[in-house]
C-alpha cells in the first residue's frame, strides 16, 4: 500500500523525516519497503492560462498561442489541439528542466518564435497519457510552481504489512501505530454531515438475509449530487497512491478507503428497484456484469448486494455496471458494510477477481469504524459534489460482535521479553495502542479488551508481541540461548534423503526444486491424459499451469532443461527429490510418495549406460543387493532404450532415453536421458549397516563361459541363473560380449561371461576350479536349454 507522507502527517503531529517514520514503523512490525521522493527534477514549470489560440501561419498541424503565466504573456507554438482559450495549463518556461534533465530553450518553429512549452502528463512523467496538453482545473491559481500544484513535494511510503494486519492498510492504521511509538494522539478527520432531507427510511430500505456472511450493513441516501471531475488535490493524492481518478463520487470512495481503510461503494439510487438493498447469497447460475465489463456467473456460496429483482454488486469485491455512478447520476445510496473475510476470499479466488476492496475485506476491517467511514464519505460528497443527505443512517446490526477479553500478566510479559519493564510502562503502551483494560486487584495483571480494529489479537502472547514492538526490539539485549540438549534417535528417512542428495551431488548433478503444481499442458507434452482418480485437481488454481498436483517429477525436469538451454546452458545434469501426489478417490487423502528424478542432456558421455551407472552406484551406496536391470516399456521413453531397475525382486524405477516425439514437443534437439526412482522403496531395501571385507590377499582364477541362447532369453535371466547355481567360490560374474551374426544360427545370440573363482583361506588350484566350472556350465546349459560355445 502506498502512503503519502504529507497525508500521514495530517493524522499525527510529528517533525520526523519520511525515512525516520519508515524506520519507526518497520521496527514496530509494519514493514516500509520503500520511501520514495515524488520530486522528478521538474524546475521552472508553472501554472498558466491560455489567452489566445491561433492557426500557425506556416504549418497546418501547429497552433500559435499566447499564454499568461501570472506575470507576462508568452508566445508558444504547440502541436496539440485539445485545449482552448481560458484553459489552465502547465507551462515550461525558457530555462525549465523536465524529468530526465531536458532543458527548455527558446526556439523558432516554422518561422514563429516559441518561448516555452505547454506540457502533457507524459512529459511530466505523471502518466503514460500523451493525448494532448494536461488541462488543470479552472480554479488553479496562476504562476504557481507545478510541483506545489501537483503535490510533487512529497514522499511515498510503501507499506507491506503482514496478512494478519488488515488494520495497517490505511493512513489511519499507520498513524495509530506511529502514535503508539511516539506516545501521541491520532487526529481523526472531520465527519459532520448536514441532513436537510426527510428520514433515510423514506428513500431506501436494507435487509440482510445472510447475517453469517454480512453481520452489519449501513447506508446513507443523498440527492442533488453533481458528478464531475474531482478537485486537483484529491486527484493528486489518489494518483500518488497508485489509484486512477475517475469522478468525484467514485474518487471520494477511494479516498476514504485509503484514509480510513474501509471499502465503500456508491449506487445510483434511481437504478435500484423498489429502493431496496438486499444482502443475500447468489442464486445458483445467477449472473452479473461487474464494473470491469465482465459478465460473471455466480453460485449459491457467493454473497451479493441485490435490489428487489437482481444483484447489483458482488459483495466486498466489485460493484455492478448497471447500478454504477455515471455522469448523469444525481442521487446515490452509499454503502459501508462488514463482510465475512473467508467468504470474500473464496469468492475472489473462485472468479479470479482481486480488488482493493477484497484485499482489505479478506484481512478483516473494523466493524466499529463503518459509521465514521460512511459519514466521512457523505461529508466529502457534500463538500465536493453538492449533495444533500437524508436524515440519519440505515444501520442493520442483528447481533453485535463482542471484542475479545484477554488477561495479561506482567510476570509473563517480562519472562517472554527477557527484559524487565515496569507495570506502568505496560499500561502506557496498551493505552497508546487503543486497548481498554482494568487492573486485577492485588496482582500485576490486566483484563484487556482488544480494539475493534485489531482482528489479529486473540491471545495473551499476541498482546505481549505488541508490547515488545512498541517498547522496541532494540531494547532487548542480545544473549546466547541456554538450555539442555536432548538426545534423539536417528531419523532414517532424513538420513536416506540426505545421503541420496550427497551421492547425486558427488556424481556431478545439480539439485533443482520444482513446483508441486503443474498443468494439463505439461501432461499433454509427455503424452499422458489427465484421466482417473489418481490426478488431484486444484479447486481454485492461481494459473492454468498450476492446476494439478504432480504425479511425476519428469515435467519439472524437462521444463528445467528447456529453461537452461534457452539461457545458454547446454550441458545439463540435474536431479530432484520430492513428493508426487496420487489420488485415491474423492473422500480420501492423497498418497504422497517420495521420488528421485534425474536427467542428463548435452553431456558427451551421456547414454543409457551412463544413467545406468549412476543408478547402479546409488543403489550400491545404499547397500541394496540383487539389483537387476531389464527392458522396460513406457511411452515416455524410446521403445528400445528403456530399462527397469529392481532390487530383491521389487521394481524401484525406470529410466531411459526420452521418446523422440516428446522431445520434439519440448523443442529439444539433443537426446535427453532421464529416470525416476521410488525413494521410499529404496529406503525399505537399504542396509542399515554396510559390511566391508578386506581386500583378498590370495590370487583368484578366471574362467570364461560362452552360451548360445534364443534371442528371447535376456541377460538378466542368464545372470540370475549363474548366481543361483554358482559355488560360493565364484566372487564375480561379468558380461563381456554379446554376439549376433553370421556365425550363430538365426534367432539366437551368444552371451560371453568371465567368472572369478577365489578363496579367502587358500590358493585355488586349476584342478578344483576346472571341476567346479565344468559342473556349473553343465547345470546352466541344462537349466536354460543352452549350448556351450
The predicted structure's pLDDT at residue 477: 84
Where in 137-204 does DSSP place strands (E)?
155-159
DSSP state of 89: E
The predicted structure's pLDDT at residue 336: 97
Structure confidence by residue, pLDDT tens digits, 674-686: 999 999 999 888 8
CA 434 to chain centre: 33
CA 63 to CA 395: how far, in whole Å?
Answer: 57
230: exposed, middle or buried (Cβ count in 10 Å: 0-12, 13-18, 19+): buried
- Compute the chain's Rg from CA coordinates: 39
Which residue, among 570, 581, 577, 576, has the nearest Cα to 557 in the 3D structure?
576
CA distances from 89 to 48, 290, 348 (A): 5, 36, 42
The predicted structure's pLDDT at residue 358: 96
The predicted structure's pLDDT at residue 554: 96
CA 288 to chain centre: 28
- At residue 327's C-alpha, the angle toward residues 326 and 331, to 5°, is 70
Q: Three-state SS for 664?
A: helix
Cell 460528497 appears where? 381
The DSSP result for 165-197, as a single string, is: -GGGSSHHHHHHHHHHHHT----PPP------S
CA 750 to CA 501: how far, in whole Å?
Answer: 39
CA 710 to chain centre: 60
C-alpha cell at 387: 449533495
CB neighbours of residue 79 within 10 Å: 14
Structure confidence by residue, pLDDT tens digits, 317-365: 999 999 999 999 999 999 999 999 999 999 999 998 999 999 999 999 9
CA 118 to CA 126: how far, in whole Å?
Answer: 14
CA 347 to CA 357: how far, in whole Å?
Answer: 13
Q: Three-state SS for 778?
A: helix
In sequence order, the 6+-apart residues with CB closer than 8 A to the CB of 125 are 40, 99, 100
DSSP state of 546: G
Q: Provide the sign of the torsion angle of the four alpha carbons 758, 759, 764, 768, taken in this order.
A: negative
CA 54 to CA 408: how far, in whole Å?
Answer: 76
CA 578 to CA 554: how far, in whole Å?
Answer: 11
Q: Are 165 and 451 in contact (CB under 8 A)?
A: no
CA 321 to CA 312: how far, in whole Å?
Answer: 8
Structure confidence by residue, pLDDT tens digits, 676-725: 999 999 988 887 666 777 888 889 999 999 999 988 888 878 888 898 88
CA 74 to CA 65: how far, in whole Å?
Answer: 8
Number of H helices, E strands in the chain: 20, 39
Q: Three-state SS for 757?
A: strand
Cell 551374426 appears where? 741
C-alpha cell at 172: 489511519
CA 615 to CA 499: how far, in whole Å?
Answer: 14
Cell 550363430 appears where? 744
CA 709 to CA 713: how far, in whole Å?
Answer: 7
Q: Which helix (H) or strand (E) holds 417?
A: helix 410-417
Q: Helix-strand-coil percent breakdown of the chain, rounded to 5?
A: 30, 30, 40
In sequence order, the 6+-apart residues with CB closer than 8 A to the CB of 141 are 47, 70
The DSSP result for 648-695, as a single string, is: TTEEEEEEEEEPHHHHHHTT--S-EEEEEEEHHHHHHHS-SSPPP-PP
CB neighbours of residue 103 within 10 Å: 12
CA distances from 285 to 297, 339, 345, 541, 729 (A): 6, 22, 20, 21, 79
Strands 510-511 vs 572-582: parallel, antiparallel or unpaired:
parallel
CB neighbours of residue 76 within 10 Å: 25
CA 389 to CA 192: how far, in whole Å?
Answer: 11
DSSP state of 169: S
Q: Three-state SS for 421?
A: coil
In sequence order, the 6+-apart residues with CB closer than 8 A to the CB of 626 are 647, 648, 649
In sequence order, the 6+-apart residues with CB closer than 8 A to the CB of 753 are 704, 705, 706, 707, 718, 722, 733, 734, 735, 736
State the 10-residue block means of pLDDT for the chain, 789 residues long.
95 95 94 93 95 92 94 94 94 94 92 94 84 89 93 93 94 96 92 94 96 97 95 92 92 97 96 95 95 94 95 96 94 97 94 94 95 96 95 95 93 92 95 93 92 94 94 85 76 87 95 93 90 82 88 95 94 95 71 94 90 93 85 92 90 95 94 95 81 83 92 84 88 89 85 92 91 91 88
Q: Between the CA atoms of 359, 365, 371 and 374, what dihedral angle is there, to the nearest 10 degrees?
A: -10
280: exposed, middle or buried (Cβ count in 10 Å: 0-12, 13-18, 19+): middle
Amino acid at each position: 500500500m502506498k502512503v503519502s507522507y504529507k497525508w500521514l502527517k495530517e493524522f499525527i503531529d510529528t517533525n520526523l523525516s519520511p525515512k525516520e517514520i519508515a524506520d519507526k514503523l518497520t521496527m514496530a512490525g509494519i514493514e516500509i519497503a520503500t520511501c520514495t521522493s515524488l520530486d522528478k527534477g521538474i524546475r521552472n514549470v508553472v501554472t498558466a492560462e491560455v489567452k489566445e489560440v491561433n492557426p500557425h501561419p506556416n504549418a497546418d498541424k501547429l497552433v500559435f498561442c499566447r499564454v499568461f503565466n501570472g506575470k507576462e504573456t508568452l508566445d508558444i507554438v504547440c502541436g496539440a489541439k485539445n485545449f482552448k482559450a481560458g484553459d489552465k495549463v502547465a507551462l515550461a518556461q525558457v530555462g525549465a528542466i523536465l524529468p530526465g534533465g531536458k532543458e527548455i530553450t527558446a526556439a523558432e518553429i516554422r518561422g514563429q518564435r516559441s518561448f516555452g512549452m505547454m506540457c502533457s502528463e507524459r512529459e511530466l512523467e505523471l502518466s503514460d497519457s500523451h493525448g494532448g496538453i494536461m488541462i488543470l482545473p479552472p480554479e488553479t491559481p496562476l504562476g504557481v510552481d507545478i510541483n506545489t500544484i501537483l503535490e510533487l513535494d512529497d514522499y511515498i511510503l510503501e507499506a507491506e504489512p503482514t496478512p494478519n494486519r488488515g488494520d495497517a492498510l490505511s493512513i489511519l492504521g499507520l498513524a495509530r501505530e506511529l502514535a503508539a511509538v511516539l506516545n501521541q494522539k491520532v487526529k481523526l478527520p472531520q465527519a459532520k454531515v448536514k441532513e436537510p432531507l426527510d428520514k433515510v427510511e423514506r428513500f431506501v430500505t436494507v435487509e440482510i438475509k445472510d447475517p453469517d456472511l454480512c453481520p452489519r450493513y449501513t447506508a446513507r441516501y443523498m440527492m442533488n449530487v453533481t458528478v464531475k471531475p474531482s478537485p486537483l488535490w484529491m486527484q493528486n493524492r489518489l494518483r500518488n497512491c497508485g489509484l486512477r481518478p475517475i469522478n468525484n463520487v467514485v474518487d471520494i470512495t477511494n479516498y476514504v478507503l485509503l484514509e480510513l481503510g474501509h471499502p465503500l461503494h456508491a449506487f445510483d439510487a434511481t437504478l435500484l428497484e423498489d429502493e431496496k438493498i438486499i444482502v443475500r447469497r447468489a442464486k445458483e447460475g445467477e449472473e452479473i456484469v461487474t464494473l470491469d465489463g465482465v459478465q460473471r456467473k455466480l453460485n449459491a456460496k457467493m454473497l451479493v448486494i441485490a435490489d428487489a429483482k437482481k444483484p447489483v454488486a458482488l459483495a466486498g469485491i466489485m460493484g455492478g455496471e448497471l447500478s454504477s455512478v455515471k455522469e448523469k447520476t444525481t442521487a446515490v445510496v452509499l454503502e459501508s458494510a462488514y463482510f465475512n473475510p473467508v467468504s470474500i476470499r473464496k469468492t475472489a479466488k473462485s472468479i479470479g477477481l482481486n480488488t482493493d476492496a477484497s484485499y482489505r475485506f479478506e484481512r478483516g476491517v473494523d466493524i466499529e469504524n463503518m459509521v465514521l467511514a460512511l459519514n466521512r464519505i457523505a461529508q466529502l460528497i457534500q463538500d465536493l459534489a453538492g449533495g444533500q443527505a437524508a436524515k440519519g443512517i440505515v444501520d442493520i446490526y442483528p447481533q453485535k460482535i463482542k471484542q475479545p477479553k484477554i488477561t495479561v500478566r506482567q510476570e509473563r510479559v517480562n519472562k517472554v521479553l527477557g527484559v524487565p519493564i515496569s507495570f506502568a510502562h505496560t499500561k502506557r503502551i496498551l493505552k497508546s495502542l487503543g486497548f481498554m483494560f482494568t487492573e486485577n486487584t492485588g496482582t500485576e495483571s490486566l483484563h484487556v479488551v482488544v480494539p475493534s480494529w485489531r482482528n489479529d489479537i486473540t491471545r495473551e502472547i499476541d498482546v505481549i508481541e505488541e508490547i515488545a514492538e512498541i517498547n522496541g526490539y532494540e531494547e532487548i539485549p542480545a544473549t546466547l540461548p541456554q538450555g539442555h540438549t536432548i538426545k534423539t534417535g536417528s531419523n532414517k528417512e532424513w538420513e536416506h534423503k540426505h545421503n541420496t542428495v550427497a551421492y547425486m551431488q558427488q556424481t556431478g548433478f545439480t539439485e533443482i526444486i520444482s513446483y508441486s503444481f503443474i498443468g494439463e499442458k505439461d501432461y499433454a507434452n509427455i503424452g499422458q491424459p489427465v484421466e482417473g482418480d489418481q490426478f488431484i485437481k486444484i479447486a481454485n488454481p492461481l494459473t492454468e499451469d498450476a492446476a494439478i498436483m504432480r504425479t511425476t517429477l519428469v515435467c519439472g525436469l524437462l521444463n528445467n532443461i528447456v529453461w537452461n538451454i534457452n539461457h545458454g546452458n547446454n550441458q545439463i545434469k540435474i536431479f530432484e527429490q520430492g513428493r508426487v501426489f496420487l489420488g485415491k478417490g474423492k473422500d480420501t487423502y492423497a498418497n504422497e510418495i517420495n521420488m528421485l528424478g534425474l536427467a542428463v542432456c548435452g553431456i558427451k558421455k551421456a547414454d543409457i549406460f551412463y544413467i545406468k551407472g549412476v543408478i547402479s552406484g546409488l543403489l550400491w551406496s545404499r547397500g541394496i543387493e540383487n539389483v537387476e536391470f531389464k527392458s522396460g516399456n513406457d511411452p515416455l521413453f524410446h521403445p528400445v532404450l528403456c530399462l527397469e531397475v529392481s532390487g530383491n525382486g521389487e521394481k524401484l524405477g525406470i529410466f531411459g532415453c526420452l521418446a523422440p516425439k516428446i522431445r520434439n514437443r519440448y523443442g529439444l534437439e539433443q537426446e535427453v536421458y532421464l529416470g525416476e526412482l521410488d525413494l521410499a522403496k529404496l529406503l525399505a531395501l537399504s542396509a542399515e549397516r554396510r559390511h566391508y571385507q578386506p581386500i583378498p590377499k590370495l590370487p583368484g582364477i578366471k574362467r570364461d563361459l560362452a552360451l548360445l541362447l534364443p534371442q528371447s532369453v535376456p541377460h538378466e535371466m542368464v545372470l540370475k541363473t549363474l548366481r543361483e547355481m554358482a559355488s560360493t567360490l565364484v566372487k564375480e560374474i561379468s558380461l563381456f560380449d554379446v554376439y549376433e551374426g553370421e556365425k550363430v544360427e538365426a534367432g539366437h545370440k551368444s552371451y560371453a561371461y568371465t567368472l572369478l573363482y577365489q578363496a579367502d583361506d587358500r590358493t585355488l588350484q586349476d584342478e578344483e576350479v576346472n571341476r567346479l566350472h565344468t559342473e556349473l556350465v553343465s547345470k546352466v546349459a541344462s537349466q536354460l536349454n543352452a549350448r556351450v560355445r
